[in-house]
């Protein structure tokens, strides 16, 4: 079903005012008055709607509402280092598809390239997040932000989640499967996991500097391996997030 997002203040008891861009899209689709579509308030509630009486695509009449089924039970923040080219486009798109709640970009010492205009880059990636959220049946639009340099980011990641994982290619003792099985064992009926928020931290093309890993350890962040193969900077956050979603029952 076609999906749009609306600002919460545009949602009333019986109708929703669509943005000018979405109104244009509705008109381009030539929806019939009896055709249903979804408008989400961005807070996890889906409204089943039809065209309003004006029939110009600006007003959607609410037929029914329900909780968005596309939101995972765990809040997962993905922290990924800036990388060159269009690698971030891919990583952000796939992270949104998989259920990331928020994506934070940061500068690490081994970053190969940094965008000249970070706000412009962030705005572009936020548009990608919006379009992906529509396509993948999400109930929220994950925010894409800049977390600054590594030290600032790592402090925020440590205090912002109940479990924080930094994925490091030189880690030989703790693998992702072991740490997730420890914190997310199979549940019995009516049980829920105690941990509801996770931070995933992945590095740039050149990997993390050892002292950066040491800083993360000093903040009680777990250093974890993704296996014996070296993953690309755009692949690592997607694989890590997939593992988290699988072990928490969200895949």
Same domain, 99 and 164: yes
Same domain, 96 and 47: no
Same domain, 43 and 121: no
The domain spanning residue 214 has which CATH number? 3.40.1280.10
Same domain, 82 and 53: no
Residue 92 has pLDDT above 90, yes or no: yes
Instruction: Identify the pLDDT of residue 58.
Output: 83
Instruction: Identify the pLDDT of residue 169.
Output: 94
Q: What is the pLDDT confidence band of residue 57, given thresholds at 50, 70 and 90? A: low
Same domain, 51 and 169: no
Same domain, 59 and 17: yes
Instruction: Identify the pLDDT of residue 215.
Output: 97
Cβ-in-10-Å burial (0-12, 13-18, 19+) of 20 comes to exposed
| Inter-CA distances, 91 with 23, 98, 176, 193, Å | 30, 11, 19, 27
User: Which residue in this structure is represented by tokens 């009516």?
Assistant: 190
Q: What does the pLDDT look like over 100-144, one tens digit per residue?
A: 999 999 999 999 989 999 999 999 999 999 999 999 999 999 999
Count up the domains in the chain and report the number: 2
Same domain, 119 and 166: yes
Final residue belonging to a domain, choices 33, 67, 101: 67
% of the chain beyond a pLDDT of 70: 98
Same domain, 115 and 154: yes
CB contact at 8 A, 143 and 75: no
The domain spanning residue 13 has which CATH number? 2.40.240.20
Same domain, 56 and 165: no
- The parent domain of residue 58 ranges over 3-67
Same domain, 82 and 140: yes
Please state whether the predicted TM-score (pTM) of the whole model is above 0.85: yes
């Amino acid at each position: 079903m076609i999906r749009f997002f609306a600002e919460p203040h545009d949602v009333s008891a019986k109708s929703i005012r669509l943005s000018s861009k979405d109104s244009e899209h509705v008109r381009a689709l030539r929806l019939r008055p009896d055709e249903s579509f979804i408008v989400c308030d961005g807070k996890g509630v889906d409204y089943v709607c039809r065209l309003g009486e004006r029939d110009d695509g600006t007003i959607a009449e609410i037929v029914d509402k329900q909780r968005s089924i596309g939101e995972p039970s765990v809040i997962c923040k993905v922290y990924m280092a800036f990388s060159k080219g269009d690698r971030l486009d891919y990583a952000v798109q796939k992270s949104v598809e998989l259920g990331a709640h928020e994506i934070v970009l940061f500068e690490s010492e081994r970053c190969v390239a940094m965008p000249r205009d970070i706000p412009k880059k962030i705005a572009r990636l936020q548009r990608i997040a919006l379009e992906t959220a529509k396509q993948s049946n999400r109930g929220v639009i994950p925010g894409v932000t800049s977390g600054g340099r590594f030290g600032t980011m790592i402090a925020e990641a440590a205090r912002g989640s109940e479990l924080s994982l930094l994925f490091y290619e030189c880690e030989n003792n703790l693998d992702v499967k072991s740490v997730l099985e420890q914190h997310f064992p199979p549940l019995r009926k009516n049980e829920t996991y105690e941990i509801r928020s996770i931070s995933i931290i992945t590095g740039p093309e050149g990997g993390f500097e050892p002292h950066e890993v040491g800083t993360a350890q000093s903040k009680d962040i777990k250093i974890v391996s993704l296996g014996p193969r070296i993953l690309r900077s755009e692949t690592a956050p997607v694989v890590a997030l997939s593992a988290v979603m699988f072990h928490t029952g969200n895949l």
